Structure 1
Amino acid sequence: MLGAAVMCAGAVTFTAGPASAAPGSMTFTVPSDTAQDFTVPAGVTSIHIEADGAQGGQNGGPGAHVTADMNVTPGQQLDIYVGGQGGSPAGGINGGGAGRTGSATSDAGGGGGASDIRPDGGAPADRLLVAAGGGGSAGSTPSRAAGGAAGANGSNGADDQPVTGGQGGRAGTAVSGGAGGAGGTGGPPGAFGTRGALAEGGNGGLLGIGGPSPTNAGGGGGGGLYGGGGGGSGNADQVDGILYVSGGGGGGGGSSLDPDSGTAPAATRTGNGQVTITWNAAYTFSGFFAPVENDSVNKANAGRTIPVKFSLNGDQGDQILAENSPSSTNVACDDEAASSPVEETAASQSGLTYNPETDTYQYNWQTQKAWTGTCRSFTLTLDDGTVHTLNFDFRR
């Protein structure tokens, strides 16, 4: 293999250089409900995004995991919003619906907030990517109905005949918020959850005076491109001195937005959301330098070691070569092409070194005697995906 990075006698040891154009990564977590800034680094034209929405409250539905590749321009500003896990009853940061409208004493779960990426200063309608949050689970009486995972409906509340449970909120879709779940029936009518909206989950249902207690309220809808609907409240009725109580419905999960329409988002995230951006910038390449020539066929003796020199505008470390790079292939000789002899210079064993005094990398390419009488193309592929070639004639 030609691409092994080894140190040659007298070579300068690699150090961690500025690597301004090297691959990088940033992870954003939940500090507040405000935007976090990301500036596209110099030389970067594409970023890879791994975004997770947050889980609904009271062990509610998990948030979505969205992966995408996005074209960008160097210096471009993006706003990153990260979803927070739903509380009890508060909705999570960035769009989670509340577990019960109008009561701070409910133990229903709020919807999980969405994580999204927007242009600098962009509004919810301008979002470029959205990883939806999951719906919050309903109150604990008589048992919690599960909040829906991102993209899924909430579960219905448990019945306690003659009263029925509240219905789960519907999931948000690509074009509208999910409908709120209907309230339980039997006795005074239960309260509907509210419908989700753009970027906002709906709130769980609450019946007024004479209705269910805070412990059978509906769960909040998850935030998303469009939020999930809140779950309907359960119900309560007293018949022949016996109190019957049904459960509330879980909140629906929000919908996601994948800009490159890849694999359907999986709902896997528990806890708070997160956004990770990675990039692989293009190096600033210059070369190749003497003793080889870029614009002509280089004539050399097969079997000698040829120093191939180039610059990447600074020390970018020793992991600059793509897998199996450099390489060479046999090509047809062109007797009409301009040619120049490769000056005989001393070069040690094959390998890659960097000289900070001249800001040049040098790869000592060990050719083979068996190539005598042939022509070959030498290909240097960097880990930024760029390809640089030289042509050689070994017929001298």
Structure 2
Amino acid sequence: MAESGEVLIVSAPGKIILHGEHSVVYGKTALAASIGLRTRVRLRSSSNGATRLHLASLDISREWPLKNLSHAIPNMHGRQNPAPPQPDLILVLRQLSESDKGDIENSALLVFLFLYTHICSASGLPALDVHIESELPPSAGLGSSAAYCTSLAAALLTATHNISHNLSNSRWQQKDLELINKWAFQAEILIHGNPSGIDNTVSTFGGALSYQSGHISELKSIPPLSVLLTNTNIPRSTSTLVSAVKGNVNKFPDIYKPLLDSMGAIAVEGKRVMDALADRMLPEVSVACNTLESKDDLFCIWETLIDVNQQLLMAIGVGHPCLEQICRVTRKHGLHSKLTGAGGGGCCFTVVPPGVGANVVSAVRTELVQCGFVCWETDLGGPGVCVHAPDPAELHLAEEK
């Protein structure tokens, strides 16, 4: 561990599904990209004989004396190949993490204890002060749990010197990122049971990814794109929505399977458009541009894909009046929107093409906020998990403690 009082700060991004939600369950392609909203972990080693966790966004503070955690230390022979936690240890960790809050809070505590006991126990559990805050709303389809798992895994692996500690820049080497991703995925299993792995992979590596039948691949590059994210604040259950779609697919296969096939085709064409936009908009790859389509042509194609995709999602029954309201508001201002994630509430994203005036975006945001929604303007395809230098205030706080 680092010396007592040293501050380590790590952050990881959320994500949106651009195309392919629901159809990905049936073997079709899905596209996802990182967003600018991030989860931030501030970790400091301590000498008080206990580990303290503060989850600012969930208003939770917990403390575990190290002597009370001895029975939760796993029998491991290295941290380079993480495996699912043993069932008996999961039971112990659940007992230690139990709170009178809800499922989200209990899952966050369970994941922390899992990563802490499994990553940090090689030479005895260290005393830590861990503060976590997030810009990502939970259960909104923006990858909040993956950003939490990824940033926490990276911070703990770095603090215990399982991965590089003295970084020449804010990113880790590929092998270190792969280890972070493995641990984040195991933590996601605790939360979701059978995750695809795309959320934690986007959060780890950033950029944009395609996913099909368990295979994840990075897009060669992603153009500089801005979107407006709008949260309906409508809670929904992903598993319930997926099950409802499955029921209709089984009941009306000749109707629903073509809709899912079309969604898959949209994702494939969307990937082509992303690659072509990168050729047009990124100087380092523009020399390889082999399309006659202009940047404006490509944005028009992407906007059409978004509109059709949204209609298909409504057709399979995962829309919501609030999502339709967002689409109407943005369409009135000449912008195009679709839901992202499971639907039935959650979030929409709206494409903001280059050249759209700030006054237009401001007008859209104002109207959406007046409707009771929450909005963020953010870029797509930014960096994945990274480490930050603490600001002077944080260093002063650490010295005082």
State the TM-score, normalized to the length of structure 1. 0.22
Q: Which has the higher contact order (CA 8 A, sep 6+)?
A: 2
Q: Rg larger in 1 or in 2?
A: 1
More helix by share: 2
State the TM-score, normalized to the length of structure 2. 0.22
More strand by share: 1
